[in-house]
Amino acid sequence: MENHLKSDTTRYERQARLSRETSQEGGRDLESSSPGAGEVTVYGFTNRTPAADGKSFLPLMELEDLDKNTSYYKQTIRFETDSKSALVAETAGDITLLSSEQYLAEIARSKETNNGKLGIYIPGIRNAPGVAAFNAGQMARSMQATIVVADWASSSPRENEGVVDMVSQTMDDTRAAIKSQPFIDRGIVTLLERLGSGNVDLIAHSRGASLLCNSLSTLQSLGMPPVKAATFLHGDKATEKYIEMFPQMYRAANRVNFVVDRNDLALKLSSAARFMVTPVLDKDWRLFPSTANIGSVGLTGAMKERTRPYVSDNYFRVFQDTGFGLLRHTPGLASTISAMR
């Protein structure tokens, strides 16, 4: 599902609520583990069309164009803090387009200055151009890692949208994600071939979980060395579907991290819609167990039992999170940082 950020197609601003929300919910105090305010550079590869000024990307394009071209870029994320060093705002600057060689060379240099750590981030649906850079910037800042965004062409959340518009947009983005999968796979393979797999995290949020599973399957089929970890942040993928795919993807990562929140309302709604059932209205607002997403429950007993022919239980790590935002779908950075250590 979406990250609930707003932007235009040139400059982006996000008012960070972390300093207020971490005082309301436990386990998400980003500032206790973050370096000081300043700026970081994030990188990205995208199948979006660059705007005429070359400083931004256009919104969702025609589906047939999504696997034709790839653009490479970098973007500076600036952070502002208050007198107590709490993060209060982020600003993302214009993009700078790079050639493929510039892109790979700059990432290689950045990776070396960040203890060799590289994260490749796959966002979910309904992310406007450039919006995923905010989450990538927070990860880069907090973990002192180089972060690359697989910025596939999802669409911008519409202002004052109704349920029908939201469902229609979700369906459009789902089709765009399917068409974008080969582009994402190529982008990940290129980075791993050039920079190695050993200290790399593949990270996905929400519906990006399905894209990540497919990419892991591709990496395994190519016989590539495993990445350090695959991390699913509030993953919007049914546990049963994850189990079905597991034999085709487990060799591509040395471990799997689930950052979960069983009260993530966006995942509950997605699960209910996917299985065409109504959530059970008990005191915990739980769903029928058969409809659960990996982002709500993490490692279930069935998952342990059915994956044991392939891996030991310690292959998986589960991190309980308290998401924030209206739907509690935006993951807490403290949980994310813990998962990726």
DSSP string, 5-71: ----SS-EEE---HHHHHHHSTT--GGGG---S-EEEEEEEE-SPBPTTSSSB-S---GGGTTT--E
Look at residue 2 and tell me if it is in a domain: no
pTM (predicted TM-score)? 0.83
Confirm whether 144 is domain-assigned: yes
Rounded CA-CA distance 29/58 in Å is 35
Domain span at residue 216 reads 15-339
Query: Is the residue at 10 inside a domain?
Result: no
Least confident of 56-70, 189-203, 294-308: 56-70
Tell whether 102 is covered by a domain.
yes
- The bridge status of strand 118-122 relative to strand 200-205 is parallel
CA dist 63 → 66, 174, 175 (Å): 6, 11, 8
**CA angle, residues 294, 325, 301, in degrees to nearest 5:** 15
In a domain, 3, yes or no: no
Q: Which residue has the tokens 């370096």?
A: 35
Please give the pLDDT value at position 280: 44
Position 5 in a domain:
no
- First-residue to last-residue Cα distance in the chain: 25
Residue 8 falls inside a structural domain: no
The CATH number given to whatever domain includes residue 317 is 3.40.50
Are 266 and 327 spatial neighbours (Cβ–Cβ below 8 Å)?
A: yes
In a domain, 314, yes or no: yes
Name the domain count of the chain.
1
* 8 Å CB contact between 249 and 220: yes
Q: What is the mean pLDDT of residues 319-339?
A: 77
pLDDT at 277: 44
Q: Is the pLDDT of residue 32 over 50?
A: no
Task: Quote the CA–CA distance of 128 and 331 in Å, as a whole number.
Answer: 18
Question: 324 or 12: which carries more pLDDT confidence?
Answer: 324
What's the mean pLDDT in 220-231? 97
